[in-house]
Amino acid sequence: MATYRTIRMAFWNNPAIEDMPPEQKLLYLYLFTSPNTNNLGVLSVTVRKIAFETGLDEDDVREFLEDLEFDGRIVMEDGDIWVCGFIRHQCSTSPKILTSLRALLPTVESAAIRRAILKRYPHLFGAAPYPSDRVSLPSGESEREREKETPIRTPERERASFAPPVEEKAIPLHLLVALQHDFPDVDVDAEILRIREWQAKKRQPVHNWASFLRTWLSNAV
């Protein structure tokens, strides 16, 4: 378990954060920094314990958690909470950390939270093998071969469906970290997911990912 957490300075520039009452800001920061929160941003904790550790009223804790879930900032199921933006706030996605995160994923008991993690960070948790220092982005090549066989959907296959295809183009992790640094006000991971969806429709290859990503993210600011 890490002994410290990273919160980007842009956290306070987010209009959604600015609109939160002080008590809800405290609760949101608690979810990031709680000793109960693992490296995926998942924690198992009771409302009573949160109230005790933050000094907030239990009813307020419940209300604020519901608001955060409604806004898409957390996912809750059976006492487990996942902070959706936790991973992108951490300053490093080194190969060692990436391996640790992938090892943690199967230990998450909540199926809903596992699916949410896979959906938000498919380029980090894809099942296809990657070089040790790379994450993946789609190459835009034709998907016709993959469409020839339509497997029966099962919970296991549904989780696997978030994995990127084998022919996806890989980008260096240092580029991902650089983009997160250069575009602090943009959810880089969410934009990469939008790029995946865009390419699935366009089916056009991108030959210079660094330039393409920077142009895309500049327009997303």
- Is residue 100 a part of any domain in this protein? yes
Using N-to-C axis directions, what is the helix angle for 58-70 and 47-54, rounded to 10°?
110
Tell me the pLDDT band of 153, cut-offs 50, 70 and 90: very low
In which domain, by residue range, is 34 found? Answer: 9-121
For residue 26, pLDDT over 90 is answered with yes
pLDDT of residue 132: 41
Per-residue tokens: 29:
């920061």
Q: Which of 88-97, 130-139, 181-190 has the lowest mean pLDDT?
A: 130-139
**What is the domain count for the chain?**
2
Question: pLDDT tens, 200-212?
Answer: 777 766 667 778 8
Do 109 and 28 sit in the same domain of this protein? yes
Report the pLDDT averaged over residues 122-151. Answer: 48
Q: Which of 9-18, 42-51, 191-200 has the lowest mean pLDDT?
A: 191-200
Tell me the pLDDT band of 93, cut-offs 50, 70 and 90: low
Per-residue tokens: 79:
């006492």
- Separation of alpha carbons 8 and 143, rounded Å: 37
pLDDT of residue 60: 96
Do 115 and 197 sit in the same domain of this protein? no
Do 13 and 116 sit in the same domain of this protein? yes
pTM above 0.75, yes or no: no
Do 112 and 202 sit in the same domain of this protein? no
Q: Which residue has the tokens 């896979």?
A: 118
CA dihedral (218, 13, 89, 114) positive or negative: negative
Q: Is the distance from CB of 127 to CB of 160 less than 8 angstroms?
A: yes
- Is residue 163 a part of any domain in this protein? no
- Is residue 65 a part of any domain in this protein? yes
